[in-house]
Amino acid sequence: MGLIVQKYGGTSVATLARIKNVADRVIKEYKKGNEIIVVVSAMGDTTDQLIKLIKGISSNPNPREVDMLLTTGEQVSIALLSMAIHDKGFPAISLTGSQVKIQTDDRHNQAEIMKIDNSRLRTELDEGKIVVVAGFQGVNSQDDFTTLGRGGSDTTTVALAAAMKADRCEIYSDVEGIYTTDPRIVPEAHKLEYISYDEMLEMANLGAEVLHPRAVELAKYYNLKLYIASSFNYKPGTIVRGVEEMEKRKNVTGVTRDEDEVKITMQGVPDQPGVAGRLFTALAEHDVNVDMIIQNLEYNNMNDITFTINKENLVRGKKVIHEIASKLGVKKIDIDKNVAKVSIVGAGMISTPGTAAKMFQVLGEEEINIQMITTSDIKVSCLIEKKYAEQAVKAIHQVFELGNAEDVEEKAR
Amino acid sequence: MGLIVQKYGGTSVATLARIKNVADRVIKEYKKGNEIIVVVSAMGDTTDQLIKLIKGISSNPNPREVDMLLTTGEQVSIALLSMAIHDKGFPAISLTGSQVKIQTDDRHNQAEIMKIDNSRLRTELDEGKIVVVAGFQGVNSQDDFTTLGRGGSDTTTVALAAAMKADRCEIYSDVEGIYTTDPRIVPEAHKLEYISYDEMLEMANLGAEVLHPRAVELAKYYNLKLYIASSFNYKPGTIVRGVEEMEKRKNVTGVTRDEDEVKITMQGVPDQPGVAGRLFTALAEHDVNVDMIIQNLEYNNMNDITFTINKENLVRGKKVIHEIASKLGVKKIDIDKNVAKVSIVGAGMISTPGTAAKMFQVLGEEEINIQMITTSDIKVSCLIEKKYAEQAVKAIHQVFELGNAEDVEEKAR
C-alpha cells in the first residue's frame, strides 16, 4: 500500500473503450488500498485536431490563446476517465493543471514547472478519491493556462510523483517497455528489466519514443524510479532507476536509430578564429540545436564545417546558415537529408575499452561508410547513409549479443 | 463610446469562417473607441457531441465531471475567437468563467450566478484589450467548474453587463430579432422595434427561442436594455426594455405557438380536499412543471383533472402520476401528445377588455376547438389540436392586425 502516480498516454485513452480499460486498471490498484493519482493525455489525435483548427485561424497564433485551446484536450480526457471510474462505483475527481496549481513560468507552449501546490491533491486523496489530473498543462502567476510542450504529460507525472513523494511512478503507453533496439527491425530485441537514467536519456534522445528525456532528467534529479509498461496488458515493463543500483551490466544496453537528422556541410569557410563560434552561436540563438560537428582544415586556409541538426529546425536553420554564409563568403552549402544516426548506449561502456572500435569494425564489415562520429561516456553514434540504417542496427545488435539475454517476460514467469 | 457586452451564440461561431466574421464585427465596435466584452457559446453542435461522449461512458454521469467536460466547449471558442482578433492585428484575451471569477452556487449542470468579480475584466479592458469570455460557465467556491444549464450563455452575458455597468448589451444569433409571430408560418409577421421584458418573457417561455427567459428576468431585475439582432448582417434588431418606456402600444404584441406540451387527463379522481394539492406537489418535487390546469366536477363526486406538462418531463412525470393515481384509485389516465398551445402576448392587454374574447372568437370562426385556456395579465393561451396550430396562428395574427405595422427595417432606412 502506498501512493501511486500513474500516467496513461494519448493512445491509451484514444477511445471510450480504452478509457474504461484505464478505469479498470486504476480501480484494480485502488482496491488494494493504494492512493492513486492518474495523469492522462488528450485522447488520441485530439491535439492534432486542435492544431488544425488553429491553422485555420492564424499562421502566427497568439501563444497564450494556443494554450487556452490545447488545454481543453486533457480536460476532456480527465472528465471522461473520472466519469468512467464513478460509473464503476468508485470515487474519483478530475483536476486541471490550474486546479491542482501546477505553477509554471510564463513561457506559453513550452512552460516549465516551478512548483506544485499539493494541498488540493492531498485533500482529495484523504477523502478517499482517485484523483485524475490533466497532463501537459499548468497555470502561470497570472492565472493563465500554460502548456509544457513536448513530453509535457510525462513531465507532469514525474513532477507530481516528486511533489507528492509517491511510492511508485508508472508510465503506461502502447509500448511494453524499453527494448535493446526497435523490435520491428530486430526480432531478437529484448525488453530490458532495468535501465539507468543516463542510458534512458540517451535512448530517449536518440529516438526511442517511449519516455521524454525531460521527464527522465526530472526523475534523475529526484532519484525517482519510473516503471514503463503497456496499458493494454499486464506484462512486466522496464524500471528506470539510478546507476548506483545497477547490477553488473553488459557494456552495451541498447542500439538506436534516428532518421530525423539532416547533415549540413559548409564548404570553403575561411580559417579565421571565431568563425565556428559565430555560426553555432547564431544557430543557438534561433533555437536550432546542433548535434554532431566535424571541421576539416583544407588547402588555402579554408575549412569545411559539417554538422547535423534536427529536420524540424531545417527551415529556421537554413535561414541562419545562409545569412552567416553570405557574411563569411562561404562558397557552397550542401544539405543532405539522406542520413541516419545509429548509436550504441550503455552505462558500462565507460569502463570497457574497445566498445566504440567494435562498433566501427562491424559497420566496416557490413561495408557501411561512417560519415561522422560522436561519443560520450555512455554512447557512441555514427552517421551513415539512411538506406543502411536497419542493416547497421541488426549487425550491431548481434555483435554485442543483445538478443541472447534472458527475456524479462521469461524471468517473470 | 462606452462599454459594450456582446454575445454570439453557437450558430454564430459554428465554423472558422463565422468566428472570423465575429472577430470583424467585434473589431468594428472596438475601432470606434468602445470597450468590448464578447461572450461566446460553444461552436455549433460541440455540446451535443460532448454529451454523446458522456452517454458512451455512463448512463448516470457524475454532474461535476459533466461540467468539467462541457466547459471545454466554450473554452475552444474563446481561444479561437481571441486568436482571430489577434490575427487581424487587434489585442484580445480570452477568459474562462473560472478566470473571470463568475462565482456560482454548487448545483452542477444548473448553477446560478452568485457574484461576478470584475477586477480581472477591468484590468484587461484598461490595458486596451478586447475581452472574450466563455458563456454558460462559472466556478463554485471549491474552484470547481460549473455550468449554468439552459440559457446559460445569455445569462452570463446579462450578468456580465450588469456587473460591469455596461452601456450596451447585445445578443447576436442567427435570428434577426423578435417577430410578431414565426415568419416561417406567417410571412406578414414583422420584426418588433421594441418589446417589454414581460412580453419577452412570455414570448420566450412560449417557444420563441431567441433569448432565454432566465436572461430576460435578470435583465428586467437590473433594468438593462437588451439588443437582439443577427450576427450575419447589420439589419436593425429588437430592443428589450422596461414597460415604463413603452410608447402607446397595440394591445397584442405577438402570437406564439408551442408544440412541446403534453396533455394529461386523470379521470375519476375522488372529490376529496387536498387531492389536487397532493398531485401537483408530487410533480413539483420531481421537477415537473405543470402549465395549464382544468378540474371538472363530474357525477358521483368524481373529478376529471386535466393538465399539461413539457414533453421532456414526460417520462419522469408519468412515473409520479401513476404512483399518485394508484393511491387514489384513479380509473383512467389519458396522455395526449397531439396538442399545441397558441398564445397572444401583449403588455397592453391588461387595459384592453375583450382581447381574449376576440381570440376565442377567431378560433371559433376557424372551427378550431379550444381544449384548455389560461390567461395572465399580458397573455392568453389556448390549447388546441396540433394540426390546427399554424392555421390558428395565421388567423390570430391577422385579426389583431399585427402584419400591418410599419416594418422596423423600413423605419431604419
CB A153 within 8 A of CB A214: no
According to DSSP H, which parts of B141-233 are helical?
A: 152-163, 197-205, 213-221
Contact A65 B86 (CB under 8 A): yes
CB A160 within 8 A of CB A5: yes
- Return the DSSP state at A109: T
The set of residues, in sequence order, having a beta carbon less than 8 Å from that of A373 and lying 6+ positions away, is A292, A360, A380, A381, A382, A383
Residues of B in contact with A82 (CB under 8 A): 62, 65, 68
Q: In angstroms, rounded to a whole number, what is the distance separating the alpha carbons of residues A262 and A19? A: 39
The set of residues, in sequence order, having a beta carbon less than 8 Å from that of B385 and lying 6+ positions away, is B338, B339, B340, B368, B369, B371
Q: Which of B20, B69, B84 sits opposite A80 (nearest CB)?
A: B69
List the grid coordinates of B401.
392586425
Contact A69 B75 (CB under 8 A): yes
A21, A55, A65, best to mutate vs chain B, most B CBs in 10 Å: A65
Contact A65 B82 (CB under 8 A): yes
Q: In angstroms, rounded to a whole number, what is the distance separating the alpha carbons of residues B329 and B268? A: 8
A68, A88, A121, A146, best to mutate vs chain B, most B CBs in 10 Å: A68
Compute the C-alpha angle A70/B143/B220, nearest 5°: 95
CB A385 within 8 A of CB A338: yes
Average pLDDT for chain B: 89
- Look at the block and give the residue holding cell 455597468: B165
Taking only the tens place, the pLDDT of each residue in A284-315 is: 888 888 888 887 766 667 778 889 999 988 98
Q: In angstroms, rounded to a whole number, what is the distance separating the alpha carbons of residues A62 and A122? A: 35
3-state secondary structure B330-365: CCEEEEECCEEEEEEECHHHHHCCCHHHHHHHHHHH
Contact A83 B61 (CB under 8 A): yes
Residues of B in contact with A71 (CB under 8 A): 75
pLDDT band at A378 (very low <50, low <70, confident <90, very high): confident
Mean pLDDT value across residues B373-392:
90
Beta strands B137-139 and B145-147 are: antiparallel
pLDDT given for residue B262 in this prediction: 94
Contact B76 A53 (CB under 8 A): yes
List the grid coordinates of B238.
429588437
Helix (H) or strand (E) holding B122: helix B119-126
- Look at the block and give the residue holding cell 502566427: A60
More confident residue, A272 or B28: B28
Taking only the tens place, the pLDDT of each residue in B43-88 is: 999 999 999 999 999 999 999 999 999 999 999 999 999 999 999 9
> Could you tell me the sign of the dihedral formed by the alpha carbons of A259, A261, A262, A265, in that order?
negative
Contact B58 A94 (CB under 8 A): no
Most confident of A320-329, B13-22, B199-208: B13-22
pLDDT band at A91 (very low <50, low <70, confident <90, very high): very high
- CA proximity to B373, closest of B308, B292, B296: B292
Residues of A in contact with B54 (CB under 8 A): 80, 83
Q: Residue A371, Cβ neighbours under 10 Å: how many?
A: 18
The DSSP result for A22-61, as a single string, is HHHHHHHHHHTT-EEEEEE--STTHHHHHHHHHHHH-SS-
Q: In angstroms, rounded to a whole number, what is the distance separating the alpha carbons of residues B114 and B136? A: 14
Helix (H) or strand (E) holding A237: none
Q: In angstroms, rounded to a whole number, what is the distance separating the alpha carbons of residues B31 and A375? A: 60
3-class state of residue A114 by DSSP = strand
Least confident of A53-67, B139-153, B339-353: B339-353
Contact B65 A83 (CB under 8 A): yes
Whether the pLDDT of residue A396 is over 50: the answer is yes
Mean pLDDT value across residues A94-107:
96
B21, B68, B82, B141, best to mutate vs chain A, most A CBs in 10 Å: B68
Measured in angstroms, the CA of B39 and the nearest CA of chain A are apart by 16
Q: Which of B64, B69, B82 sits opposite A76 (nearest CB)?
A: B69
pLDDT given for residue A283 in this prediction: 87
pLDDT given for residue A206 in this prediction: 67
Most confident of A216-220, A249-253, A271-275, A354-358: A216-220
Helix (H) or strand (E) holding A149: none
Residue of B nearest to A144 (CA): B99
Whether the pLDDT of residue A409 is over 70: the answer is no
Residues of A in contact with B59 (CB under 8 A): 87
Measured in angstroms, the CA of B8 and the nearest CA of chain A are apart by 18
Taking only the tens place, the pLDDT of each residue in B355-380 is: 888 899 899 899 999 888 888 878 88
pLDDT given for residue B267 in this prediction: 86
All structural domains of chain B: 3-174 (3.40.1160.10)
CB B333 within 8 A of CB B321: yes
- Return the DSSP state at B245: G
Q: Which of B50, B84, B92 sits opposite A57 (nearest CB)?
A: B84
Helix (H) or strand (E) holding A6: strand A3-8
Instruction: Give the CA count within 13 Å in the CB-facing half-sphere of B124.
Output: 22
B52, B62, B71, best to mutate vs chain A, most A CBs in 10 Å: B62
Average pLDDT for chain A: 89
Measured in angstroms, the CA of B181 and the nearest CA of chain A are apart by 38
Q: In angstroms, rounded to a whole number, what is the distance separating the alpha carbons of residues B190 and B397? A: 10
Contact B86 A50 (CB under 8 A): no
Contact A16 B56 (CB under 8 A): yes
Q: Which of A16, A69, A86 sits opposite B65 (nearest CB)?
A: A86
Taking only the tens place, the pLDDT of each residue in A3-48 is: 999 999 999 999 999 999 999 999 999 999 999 999 999 999 999 9
Q: In angstroms, rounded to a whole number, what is the distance separating the alpha carbons of residues B22 and B397? A: 35
Q: What is the ipTM of this complex?
A: 0.81
CB B104 within 8 A of CB B111: yes
Whether the pLDDT of residue B108 is over 80: the answer is yes
Taking only the tens place, the pLDDT of each residue in A1-11 is: 799 999 999 99
Residues of B in contact with A78 (CB under 8 A): 68
Q: Which of B16, B50, B83 sits opposite A62 (nearest CB)?
A: B83
The set of residues, in sequence order, having a beta carbon less than 8 Å from that of A277 and lying 6+ positions away, is none
- CA proximity to A252, closest of A347, A169, A365, A351: A347
CA B375 from centre of chain? 20
Residues of B in contact with A93 (CB under 8 A): 64
pTM for this entry: 0.83
Q: Which of A57, A79, A144 sits opposite B80 (nearest CB)?
A: A57
List the grid coordinates of B297.
366536477
- CA proximity to B97, closest of B55, B43, B155, B52: B155
pLDDT given for residue B408 in this prediction: 41
List the grid coordinates of A24.
479498470
- Look at the block and give the residue holding cell 544496453: A253
Beta strands A379-385 and A339-345 are: antiparallel
Tell me how long chain A is: 413
The set of residues, in sequence order, having a beta carbon less than 8 Å from that of B229 and lying 6+ positions away, is B170, B171, B172, B176, B177, B235, B236, B237, B238
Contact B66 A82 (CB under 8 A): no
- Return the DSSP state at B105: -
Residues of chain A with pLDDT > 90, as a percent, come to 61
Least confident of A46-55, A115-124, A211-220, B267-276: B267-276
Kindly give the interhelix angle for A152-163 and A213-222, rounded to the nearest 10 degrees.
Answer: 10
Residues of B in contact with A84 (CB under 8 A): 57-58
- Single-letter amino acid, residue A221: Y
Chains A, B: CB contacts within 8 A come to 113
Residues of A in contact with B56 (CB under 8 A): 16
According to DSSP H, which parts of B194-288 are helical?
A: 197-205, 213-221, 275-285
> Could you tell me the sign of the dihedral formed by the alpha carbons of B41, B43, B45, B46, in that order?
negative
* Residue A161 zone, left/alpha/beta (φ > 0; ψ -120 to 50; rest): alpha
List the grid coordinates of B97.
468563467
Residues of A in contact with B94 (CB under 8 A): 65, 68
pLDDT band at B208 (very low <50, low <70, confident <90, very high): low
Helices (H) then strands (E): counts for chain A: 13, 20
Taking only the tens place, the pLDDT of each residue in B243-276 is: 755 555 667 889 999 999 999 998 888 877 777 7
- CA proximity to A181, closest of A353, A2, A390: A390
- Look at the block and give the residue holding cell 569557410: A269
pLDDT given for residue A130 in this prediction: 98
Identify any residues that bridge with A265 across adjacent strands, giving them in sequence order.
Answer: A306, A334
pLDDT given for residue B410 in this prediction: 41
Instruction: Give the CA count within 13 Å in the CB-facing half-sphere of B80.
Output: 29
Interfacial residues of B (vs A; Cβ cutoff 8 Å): 16, 19-20, 50, 53-54, 56-62, 64-66, 68-69, 71-72, 75-76, 78-80, 82-84, 86-87, 92-94, 96, 98-99, 120, 143-144
Whether the pLDDT of residue A79 is over 80: the answer is yes
Beta strands A194-196 and A238-241 are: parallel
Mean pLDDT value across residues B23-51:
96
Mean pLDDT value across residues B296-318:
83
Contact B68 A82 (CB under 8 A): yes
